[in-house]
Amino acid sequence: ETGVTQTPRHLVMGMTNKKSLKCEQHLGHNAMYWYKQSAKKPLELMFVYNFKEQTENNSVPSRFSPECPNSSHLFLHLHTLQPEDSALYLCASSLLSLGVQETQYFGPGTRLLVL
């Protein structure tokens, strides 16, 4: 399998549930990203990891907890979410992310609905 994959593609959860989103990249990249895409709003960068280390947290609420066990895998752990957290969550990767003009490659996203 090539590129950036995300699972699950769709997720419905209650506000008291705990779930995790998974992202995997097969491109040999060292930087990975989580974005939130809501209707009528620009993509919002949530987290950036470089070589497994978190280098950016864009003021994301603590109910979103990222984990990057290695350069190929990125998780987003979800707990006690709110209905306004319903959105498309996109994962991306790039070779590096340190002010270098690198292309980001995106996965297909996980469509999340919080009830």
Partner 1 sequence: GDSVTQMEGPVTLSEEAFLTINCTYTATGYPSLFWYVQYPGEGLQLLLKATKADDKGSNKGFEATYRKETTSFHLEKGSVQVSDSAVYFCALGPDKLIFGTGTRLQVFP
* Residues at the site binding partner 1, with contacts judged by CB under 8 A: 4, 6, 40-43, 45, 48, 56, 90, 92, 97-109
Minimum separation from the CB atom of position 10 to partner 1 (A): 11
Nearer to partner 1, 18 or 26 (CB): 26
Minimum separation from the CB atom of position 107 to partner 1 (A): 5
Nearer to partner 1, 39 or 79 (CB): 39
Residue 36 near residue 44 (C-beta atoms within 8 A): yes
Minimum separation from the CB atom of position 77 to partner 1 (A): 21
Alpha carbons 43 and 85: distance in angstroms, whole number: 13
Cα–chain-centroid distance for residue 104? Answer: 13
Minimum separation from the CB atom of position 99 to partner 1 (A): 5
Nearer to partner 1, 66 or 109 (CB): 109
Nearer to partner 1, 46 or 68 (CB): 46
Buried b (16+ CB within 10 A) or exposed e, 4-21: bebeeeebebeeeeebeb
Alpha carbons 99 and 115: distance in angstroms, whole number: 39
Residue 42 near residue 91 (C-beta atoms within 8 A): no
